[in-house]
Structure 1
C-alpha cells in the first residue's frame, strides 16, 4: 500500500523537541477515531525520522523509504495497540521500525517469496500484539538505562526535530562530540535489545 505523504501542519521547529503529550493526543485520535488529519501530522513528523533511523542502521535509501512508509501504515493499522501508559508515541513507532529492520535483514539473508496481499489485512494476532508490546517495553527500558546526556541526544536526534548540527548549536557541544555520543548510545541500545531477543 502506497500512501501519499501528507503536508505537515504542525508548528515549525523551535529548537526543542515537540511536546510528547501532543503526539499522544494525535495517536489517540488515530486509535479512537481513525482521524486521517492526525495521522497526516504524525506521518509528516515521524516518517522522515524512521527513514533516517533505518539508513543510519545500514539500510539502503530506497529500501529505507519503502520501509518507513510500511512502518507508518502499520502505525495506522495497529493504532489500537498503542498504550500511552506503557510507552511514548516515538518509542512505540521506533519499536515497529526496529522490528521491520530485523525482518528486512532476515529476508536479505534468507530470501522468501513475497506473500500476495489479497483483501483486508487480518487483525493482529494476540501473539503479535504481545510481541510488539514486549519490544516496546524493552526499548523504553533500554532508553531509560542510558546516561542522561546520551538519552537526551537520542531523543533530540531520533524523536525530535533536530539534526546533529542543530543539536550542536543548541547545546554548544562540538559536532564530533554529538556524533560520538549518539553513536555510543546507539551501540548500547542495540546491545540491550539484542540481549533481549
Structure 2
C-alpha cells in the first residue's frame, strides 16, 4: 500500500432500498459536501414516482453519491445519466455502475450548468433529480436551463432537494409543486414540469 502522496478519500456507504438491487450496499467518496439523500426521503420520493416506474429516462444532476440515480436504475429506469464535476466522484460512480452491471447508465464528469447548456439528448428526460450544493445559487439557473434547452419531456417530473430556508422555490413559469416536505434543514419537492411554448 502506498504511504506517500495524496491518500484516497474515505468511502461512505449507501444502500439501495428498492427494485432489482434492493439491499445492495454501494460506496461513494465521502468528500466535503457529498450527502446522499437519506433512505427515508428516497423511499418517499420513489413512492411518489411509482406510477411512472419502470421505464422513464432519468437525469441525475449534481449527482454526488449517485444515490438517486442508482435507486432509479434498480427500479427500472430506461437509462440514467449522472453529472458531477468531481473527477473522483465520477470515476468511483463508474465503478459502482459496473458492479451493478448497468449498461443503461453513463457518467459525465463536468460542471453541471455548463453540461446543461451544451446538452442535446436524442430524447428528452422524463425524470430529473436536482440536488445541488446548498446556498451556492445553483438551483435557479439549473431549472432555467432545463426549460430553455428543452431537455424535458412533456409533463416531466423534477425532484428538488434544497436548503429549507429557500422560499419560495424558484420554479419556472407553468410548473406545479406536486409534493413537498421539509425534514430539518432540508426541503424536498417533486414538481410537474409542464412545458410551455
TM-score (norm 1): 0.30
> 1 or 2, which has the higher strand percentage?
2
> 1 or 2, which has the higher helix percentage?
1
